[in-house]
């Protein structure tokens, strides 16, 4: 088996140190082409007593589903699966909320804004929240306060003699 990617994280929460190591590897299947992910978790309290220990070997294709299940289950077990302090979001949230933007999406956002579409129309089209659209508009040079307009050029970047 060959390790193709590896990540290590160590964090301290009060007096406890947690370690997570994730390694993606290829091989091991009958055809030698399977991709697996190994997750190792450890934690030690202030007197080096173990507070977390374990290893998971997961087929790479199952990682997204298992990550969701583990997160939801652990948050529910901790009593934070629902309510204001929990991480769980409502089921009716936009499908692309929180996902990265591509250059193509940025160009389309700019084009739609300059064509006069409203924040709500654009949010529906991109399956994102209106707040997410308003936050992204300045990044593509558009003024979120004036539909169909670019942001003004700041005085420090104007040409000499240019009217403001």
How does pLDDT run across 32-90, given as a tens digit for each residue?
567 899 999 999 999 999 999 999 999 988 888 888 888 888 888 777 655 444 445 56
Residues near 157 by Cβ (< 8 Å), separated by ≥ 6?
none
Report the mean per-residue pLDDT for the chain: 85
Residue 54 lies in a domain: yes
The string of DSSP codes covering 77-139 is HTT-SSSTTSSPPPTTS-TTTTPPPPHHHHHHHHHHHHTT--HHHHHHHHTS-HHHHHHHGGG
Give the range of the structural domain holding residue 123, as residue numbers without chain letter.
Answer: 103-140
Q: Please tell me the total count of domains within the chain.
A: 2
Residues 64, 118: one domain? no
Instruction: Kindly give, in sequence order, each residue whose CB lies less than 8 Å from that of residue 56, ignoring residues fewer than 6 positions away.
Output: 38, 39, 66
Please indicate, yes or no, whether residues 115 and 57 belong to a single structural domain of this protein.
no
Q: What is the pTM of this model?
A: 0.45
Regarding whether 109 and 62 lie in a shared domain, the answer is no
The closest alpha carbon to 132, from 109, 149, 103, 104, belongs to 109
CATH of the domain at 44: 2.20.130
Q: What confidence tens digit (pLDDT) does each residue in 73-87 have?
A: 888 877 765 544 444
64 and 22 co-located in one domain? yes
Residue 91 has a pLDDT of: 62
CA atoms within 13 A on the CB side of 119: 17
**Pairing between strand 50-59 and 35-44?**
antiparallel
Based on the fold, state whether residues 62 and 123 are members of the same structural domain. Answer: no
């Amino acid at each position: 088996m060959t390790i193709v990617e590896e990540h290590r994280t160590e964090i301290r929460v009060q007096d406890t140190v947690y370690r997570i190591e994730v390694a993606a590897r290829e091989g091991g299947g009958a055809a030698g082409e399977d991709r697996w992910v190994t997750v190792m978790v450890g934690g030690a309290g202030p007197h080096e007593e173990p507070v977390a220990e374990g290893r998971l070997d997961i087929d790479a294709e199952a990682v997204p589903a298992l990550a969701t299940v583990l997160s939801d289950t652990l948050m529910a077990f901790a009593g934070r699966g629902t309510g204001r302090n929990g991480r769980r979001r409502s089921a009716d949230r936009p499908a692309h909320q929180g996902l990265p933007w591509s250059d193509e999406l940025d160009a389309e956002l700019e084009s739609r804004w300059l064509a006069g579409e409203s924040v709500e129309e654009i949010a529906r089209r991109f399956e994102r929240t209106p707040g997410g659209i308003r936050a992204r508009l300045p990044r593509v040079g558009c003024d979120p306060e004036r539909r169909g307009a670019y942001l003004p050029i700041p005085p420090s970047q104007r040409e000499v003699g240019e009217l403001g």
